[in-house]
Amino acid sequence: MRLILLGAPGAGKGTQAEVICNALNIPAISTGNILREAKANKTALGLEAASYMDSGKLVPDEVVINILKERLKEDDCKDGFILDGFPRTVPQAEALDKMGVVIDRVVDIEVPDEKIMARLSGRRVCEKCGSSYHVEYKPTKVEGVCDRCGGKTVQRKDDSPEIIKDRLEVYHAQTEPLKDYYKKTGKLVIVEGQEEVADTSALTLKAVEA
């Protein structure tokens, strides 16, 4: 199964990618995670990407396309994969087509902007293992401490309300047109994001397995 997860920032792509990864035993590839790791390790790529990411802009297409091309060559991708956060522009989708990658399904998770704002501004992530929490909906047992590994939980720089607004604008202008792009291929399935993660997961798995 070769799957694309579409959706606004904070729609729950990362959360659902993990669920599908466990259910189908295929890797979840998040360009956001790859870039964040590069940033944390202060590699040339990370330093280049940092200013775009921190201000809520997209990293240039050619940079992200090259990252993905390399990642898809890895052995674990031969039986399928989940793309979380790629493509994010029409040129990225065209590049995927040019690579000869045949996608089986595109699941678009729809969540209204007001809900996105509440979800992302309250999100906290572990600095050490990357586990994700929410101050209200999924708090850690001890404030500021990751339940899984004991690391420190922090707010992502791009999860401040001003930057979330910018990310949503970028999403509507540059990523949302991909819905039409994939609708034409007949592979697009829309999932309405639910209040409970488990309810969204049930709908997402149904969309993937149908």
What is the set of active-site residues?
13, 88, 123, 156, 167
DSSP line for the chain: -EEEEEESTTSSHHHHHHHHHHHHT--EEEHHHHHHHHHHTT-HHHHHHHHHHHTTPPPPHHHHHHHHHHHHTSGGGTT-EEEES---SHHHHHHHHHTTPPPSEEEEEE--HHHHHHHHHTEEEETTT--EEETTTB--SBTTB-TTT-PBEE--GGGSHHHHHHHHHHIIIIITTHHHHHHTTT-EEEEEPPSSHHHHHHHHHHHHH-
* Shortest separation between residue 109's beta carbon and ligand AP5, angstroms: 7
* Shortest separation between residue 58's beta carbon and ligand AP5, angstroms: 4
Is the CB of 186 or the CB of 208 nearer to ligand AP5?
A: 208
Stretch that binds ligand AP5, among 11-19, 93-101, 145-153, 177-185 (CB under 6 A): 11-19
Please give the size of the binding site for ligand AP5, defined by CB under 6 A. 36
203 binds ligand AP5 (CB under 6 A): no
Rule CB under 6 A: which of 134-173 touch ligand AP5?
134, 137-138, 158, 167
Q: Which residues bind ligand AP5 (CB under 6 A)?
A: 7, 9-15, 30-32, 35, 52-53, 56-59, 64, 85-86, 88, 92, 119, 123, 132, 134, 137-138, 158, 167, 193-195, 197, 200
